[in-house]
Amino acid sequence: MAVTRGFLGRRPADSARVPPGQYLTRDFPVLSAGPTPYTRLDTWDFTVRGLVNRPVSWLWQEFQELPHEKFTVDIHCVTKWTKLDTTWSGVSLDTLLDAAPTQASHAVAFCDGGYTTNVPLADLRGGKAWVVDEYDGRPLDPEHGGPARLLVPHLYFWKSAKWIRGLELRAADQPGFWEMFGYHNYGDPWKEQRYQGD
């Protein structure tokens, strides 16, 4: 029996990969709370600071030399679009956090432009989160967070901070930008944790 490539290539359970209340899109919408910052690579660095013995920073070139992983994940925006099979390259948060031993339980991502978002450290470890600098085989567009953004695909996409410049590690949780404006503190798309109280 002939089986076409299209049949084999189709995942039978695409609909099972769409969290409740979401719809599928092939577009890649741009959602930013402010203007796109343009940071020169020769002044860019990534810093882990806060509850650490001493802050750790990587210049752009040093960050490029860290081991990068290429991976494909689904992303879910709280405005209800879901995009399947997005391909990225970046540095695992495990690699970055290993360089900064800490007793902290939470992190606040900080960014050029002033955006912040909070994530439990457990959600950044264990191969679940990256700082990405490539989308679809190309350097990340500024509109989508280039030169580098956080990617935490198992949480709503507002947690994936664009133009990230580092993590502030903390002993206690502290809401970020959208979390202070009523978005859910954790943001699990499979539990539809869109807004406070969900």
Ligand X SMILES: Nc1nc2c(c(=O)[nH]1)N[C@H]1C(S)=C(S)[C@@H](COP(=O)(O)O)O[C@H]1N2
Site residues (vs Mo ion, CB under 5 A):
31, 77-78, 158
Which of 31-39, 45-53, 86-94, 184-192 is the region at the interface with ligand X (rule: CB under 6 A)?
Answer: 31-39
Closer residue to Mo ion in complex, CB, 31/180: 31
CB neighbourhood size of 19 (10 A): 16
Q: Does 163 participate in binding ligand X (rule CB under 6 A)?
A: yes
Is the four-CA dihedral 183, 184, 187, 193 of positive or negative sign? negative
φ and ψ at 103, to 5 degrees? -95, 5
Site string for ligand X, 77-106 (x = CB under 6 A): x-----------------------------
Q: Contacts with ligand X: how many residues (CB under 6 A)?
A: 17
Closer residue to ligand X in complex, CB, 121/152: 152
CA angle 126, 147, 181 (to 5 degrees): 70
Which of 42-50, 61-69, 92-100, 109-117 is the region at the interface with ligand X (rule: CB under 6 A)?
Answer: 109-117
Closer residue to Mo ion in complex, CB, 58/115: 115
| CA 166/CA 149 separation, integer angstroms | 10
Locus of tokens 């920073």: 57
Locus of tokens 């899109």: 25
